[in-house]
Amino acid sequence: MSAAARLDLRDSSCPITWVKTRIALERLALGEVLEVWLGEGEPAASVPRTAEEEGHQLVALEPLAAGPGAAIRLLVRKGAPPPALP
């Protein structure tokens, strides 16, 4: 699968990982895919969860590297935002 954009956030921590991911998603058209490289731990757990909560679709979540400096590769398809609460 080809991504429209790629972010390498392996050296970033939360909440900046989500802030940068969200900005990148805002620049994409509906349905385009963003590839994000994240460090293990909190970023790997919170960015995919928050993306889904914001109405985006997780396409893949897989190891990018193992051992020291381990990372994950996230593919997320831009979706429509969830409806606003009344």
Report, as residue numbers or ranges, the catalytic residues: 14
Q: Is 66 exposed, middle or buried (0-12, 13-18, 19+ CB in 10 A)?
A: exposed
